[in-house]
Structure 1
Amino acid sequence: MKETVMRATIDPPRTVLANGAETMTATDAPELAGPPAVRPVILPLDGSALSERARPWAVAIARTRQAPVIMMGVVDAYQASSLGLAASAGVPLYNSMVPDALQEVTQYLETQVGACAAVAPDVHTQGLLKIGDASREILKVASELDAQMVVLTTHGRGGVDRLIWGSVAEQVVRNGHVPVLLVRPWEHPVPELTSEHPGWRVLVPLDGTKLAETSLAEATRLAVGGELLLVRDVVSGHGDWSDDLTEPREATDMAKLYLDGVANRLREDGIRVRTLVLTRPVVTDAISEVVSTEAIDLIVLATHGRGAIGRLLHGSVSDALARHAPVPVLLIHQAPEVPAS
């Protein structure tokens, strides 16, 4: 594809076009001709069919936002040069790199761009090749292009000479500040948006903090034409209203009052919202059940909630949802907590 740009940034840095020709050095070359006018959606791929399962979601979200999709491949320089042995011998990594590795990824990305253009001609797609550590390069590109979102599958191709995609996804979530949509490769197809189903149904777990509510901005964008379902847990100990000093009925009433307050603010902006208080002992099981019974399409949550341990959106709960939820999970990485008002 003529517009596909493949960029290599290892010693010596060069820009590699789709036809394999090299152009100016990276110090002189613009990054993808400058940031796109609309912030892109980044879709990292590792060459496996599993990683490609995220493509429909990346394309669908990009279409709703009229944003481009950057399909990104990363070649590990050390693995491509016999695990770095050439570097220890004083040979520049780029010159000692197995040529087939770059050519293989270049052709693969061209194929993926073409496949996307065939099914979604209204979505602008580019390929981007980087050389280096996968998670680091993904985060660097997301930052440089001010990406709206990174879309990843939770599993991909593993092995000594391939990306271990699960750990890459984990590092991107842990170390980045861009929203990351995690798609399990065996999930159902993306729900088609039609006149009868004009928007997605999005579930947002909240824990009573302003920090947790920062997930609402992305959630409302995804739910345009659809519906938000705000949920609050009062049984598992992940909140101020579920300790031993609070009666169960009182905790439920307080949780409902809180959710209704958030919902009313959103309704003032024309958002369709419902609320639900969760009372099952295990919050992740409760959320999974609601996803099934309410036909939820996506879950959106902040990756940190109130406190160090045992809060709804922190640690094991968010990790369990990301790994085992029956629908894709959009994680919003946040800085230290914002006190609740």
Structure 2
Amino acid sequence: MPKVTSIIVAIDFSEPSLEALRQAETLAWEMKAELVVFHAIPNLVRANPLFPHQNIEDVFQLPAIMDRATQAVEEVIETHLSKGLFNVRIVVDTGWPDTALLRKAEEIDANLIVVGSRGYTGLKHVLLGSVAERVIRYAHCPVLVARPAPKHGKILAATDFSDPAWPAVEMASEITKLRNADLTVMHSLGAKATTLSWAATPFGGGPIVPDEKSIQEARAAAHHLIETSLERFATTASIVVTDGLAQDEIVRQATVLSAELVVLGNQGRSAIQRIALGGVAETVARTAPCSVLVVRLTP
């Protein structure tokens, strides 16, 4: 797992973005990384064929708007960050919040992006803002979706034993050591019959559920694989193997543990993989009761 040397956090002055700022500061302090505080100003310069002089006025207004935005970000940093973090810089740019953030993160070669769970921009989802959702889907590096949660020193890492899952377990292990926290690593077998499979019964289908012996053998094998990986990362952790659907079990386990952070992996950076994310990572980021760190496997 590459060392985290640059963290970029997006703020829009909403409370969720301020929580993201606080958590980004904690990570920057723990990892001795640079913290880049980013704010995107919506693109005010639009084509106006009926009143072309308005385009010129917008262009002249933009520098003053950017100056005011920079000053506002400085005030937020002064108010919400401790005085102990010195490697902080401000970046203000124009554009849609998600695309501007993703562009800037790649431009500065950030190793970690931090966003709030919701913000003022765009339509709000019930539990995850559309900006955060798109950043998770298209980012070139790990993304932390920050939510306030009790700091009980509990971190949950989820693995499905695929290649993208191991960097997530490794990163969870590193954060656990930095915080002197307790790590739990879990795997879900997905062995229980789903509601959909039961619904198929009248049409000749039916639930496919492994027998109890097979489930016990799968549990033992998963437990052994996790133990082996923990030895490789020179860390200790509690191990949990469950039977249900991964996204449901991860959220449930995070709730039971009162976890402050969930860490899980995601696929690589090809266009098809980015678009097709959905699934477990995005569902957990949308519904978890705490912050979620989605770690991307990079080439």
Same fold (TM over 0.5): yes
Q: CA deviation at 1:261?
A: 2.4
After TM superposition, give the deviation of residue 329 of structure 1 in Å: 0.5
Tell me whether 1:74 sits opposite 2:3 in the alignment.
no
- The match for 2:197 is none
Give 1:253's aligned residue.
Answer: 217
Deviation at 1:271, TM superposition (A): 0.7
Aligned to 1:178: 141
Distance in 1, Cα, partners of 2:284 & 2:231? 27
Q: Mind listing any 5+ residue stretches in structure 1 that lack a counterpart?
A: 1-36, 192-196, 306-312, 337-341
Cα distance in structure 2, aligned partners of 1:216 and 1:153: 23
- Superposed CA deviations along residues 67-105 of structure 1, whole A, max 9, x for unmatched, are 12111011122xx24x44389838468724455532331
CA displacement 1:202-251 (0-9 Å, x = unmatched): 2122223233223223222211132331211123579xxxx937323322
**Aligned alpha-carbon RMSD (Å):** 3.3
| 1:75-154 → structure 2 map (5 Å cutoff) | 75-77=41-43, 80-81=44-45, 83-85=46-48, 89=52, 91=55, 95-98=59-62, 101-117=65-81, 119-154=82-117
One-letter code aligned to 1:218? M
Structure 2 gap segments, 5+ residues each: 195-206, 269-275
Instruction: Tell me by how many angstroms 1:139 deviates.
Output: 1.6
Q: Go from structure 1 to structure 2 and tell me whether the alpha carbon gap of 1:318 and 1:248 turns closer, same or farther (over 3 Å shift).
A: farther
SS of match in other structure, 2:164:
helix
Aligned to 1:13: none
- Establish whether residue 60 from structure 1 lines up as the match of residue 23 from structure 2: no
Of the structure 1 ranges 322-331 and 281-290, higher mean CA displacement relative to structure 2 is found in 281-290
Q: Contact 1:68 / 1:125 at 8 angstroms: preserved in 2?
A: yes
Measure, in 2, the Cα distance between the counterparts of 1:237 and 1:144: 46
How far off its partner does 1:314 sit?
5.9
* Cα separation, 2, equivalents of 1:115 and 1:183: 19
Q: Shift of the alpha carbon at 1:146?
A: 2.0
- 1:214 counterpart residue number: 167
Q: 1:167 to 1:85 in 2, by over 3 A?
A: farther
Question: What SS class does the counterpart of residue 145 from structure 2 fall into?
Answer: strand
Q: Which residue of 1 aligns with 2:8?
A: 42
Identity %: 21
Cα pair distance change 1:262/1:285, threshold 3 Å: closer
Q: Going by fraction, where is helix more abundant, 1 or 2?
A: 2
Q: 1:50, 1:157 within 8 Å by CA — same for their partners in 2?
A: no
Structure 2 matches for 1:26-41, cutoff 5 A? Answer: 39-41=5-7
Q: 1:233 aligns with which of 178, 188, 205?
A: 188
8 A Cα contact 2:6 2:109, kept in partner: yes
Note if contact 1:207-1:232 (Cα within 8 Å) is conserved in structure 2.
yes
Judging changes above 3 Å, is the alpha-carbon distance between structure 1 residues 272 and 88 closer, same or farther for their aligned structure 2 residues?
A: farther
3-state DSSP of counterpart to 1:214: helix
Pair 1:248–1:204, CA change in 2 (3 A): farther
- Any idea what the Cα deviations from partners look like across 1:310-339, whole Å, max 9, x if unmatched? xxx963332221111011111123479xxx
Structure with greater contact order relative to length (CA < 8 Å, sep ≥ 6): 2
Q: Which sits farther off after the overlay, 136-145 or 260-269? A: 260-269
Q: Could you say which residue in structure 2 is the equivalent of 1:274? A: 238
Task: Give the alignment of 1:169-208 within 5 angstroms.
Answer: 169-184=132-147, 187-188=148-149, 191=151, 200-208=153-161
Amino acid of the structure 1 residue aligned with 2:279: S
The 1:334–1:272 alpha-carbon spacing in structure 2 relative to 1, beyond 3 Å, is same
Partner letter of residue 263 of structure 1?
E
SS in 2 for 1:296: coil
2:228 is aligned with 1:264: yes
Correspondence for 1:26: none
Number of residue pairs the alignment of both structures matches: 270
Q: Which deviates more, 105-114 or 243-252?
A: 243-252
Q: Give, as a single letter, the amino acid of the residue that structure 1 aligns with 2:186.
A: V
The residue identity in structure 1 corresponding to 2:169 is L
- In the alignment, is the contact (CA less than 8 A) between 2:5 and 2:32 conserved in 1? no
TM-score, reference length from structure 2: 0.77
Check the 8 A contact 2:113/2:142 in 1, yes or no: yes
CA distance in 2 between counterparts of 1:59 and 1:317 reads 27
Counterpart code for 1:230:
V
